[in-house]
Amino acid sequence: MEAAIELFGRNGFDQTTAEDIAKEAGLTERTFFRYFSDKREVLFYGADELKEHIKTLLLDAPLDVAPLEAVVGALEKAGRIFDERRDFVKKRQTVIASNPELLERELLKLDGISASMADTLINRGVVEQVATVTAEVGMTIFKIAMRNWAVSGGEKALSDTMRGLVEDLRRYWML
């Protein structure tokens, strides 16, 4: 839904109606609401697929890899799909940052990914509350790296930004 993001960026999220988006995408409003339960969902198109993709990557991590490393590794690999779309990610983040309701929805989606990773860690034998915190820490690293990467110039891949952040944390936390 890149066209919708362009509309939001140009006219503002509140000022853009579902009808506007549907028209831009060549859909009727009725069809639009068959795909999206509300206008906010347009910004989270593909979020469920991303969640499943991350889960699969985490399941594939060797069992002798420590939980946080496994989580960060899965997120780094998943993040590769964004490398070619930095401009889109940046525009999307600007729209989300402009509206607390969108930020709420974004946090809920990230929470869903994090809960799914925690389940996978529990299946790997990690104690429940450690699994939950570790998954959330991974998501936080992903979210912050994504924000910084989106606004940064240069040719750096998202995974490099994540790796750099993990190194900074290791230094500060003495991991």
Does 144 interact with a second copy (rule: CB under 8 A)?
Answer: yes
Count Cα atoms within 13 angstroms, Cβ side, for 36: 21
106: Cα separation from own chain's centroid:
8
State the burial class of residue 55 (Cβ atoms within 10 Å of its Cβ: 0-12, 13-18, 19+).
Answer: middle
Stretch that binds a second copy, among 25-33, 50-58, 77-85, 164-172 (CB under 8 A): 164-172
Please tell me whether residue 108 binds a second copy under the rule CB under 8 A.
Answer: yes
Is 26 an interacting residue with respect to a second copy (CB under 8 A)?
A: no
Quote the crossing angle between the two packed helices 47-60 and 100-123, to the nearest 10°. Answer: 30
Of these, 141, 146, 150, 158, which contacts a second copy (CB under 8 A)?
141
Question: Encoding tokens for residue 49?
Answer: 């697929």
Q: Which of residues 110-139 bind a second copy (CB under 8 A)?
A: 111, 126-127, 129-130, 132-134, 136-137
C-alpha distances out from residue 117 to 74, 96, 107, 131, Å: 10, 24, 15, 8
Q: Minimum Å distance from CB 108 to a second copy?
A: 5
Query: Which positions touch a second copy (CB under 8 A)?
Result: 66-68, 100, 103-105, 107-108, 111, 126-127, 129-130, 132-134, 136-137, 140-141, 144-145, 148, 165, 168-169, 172-175
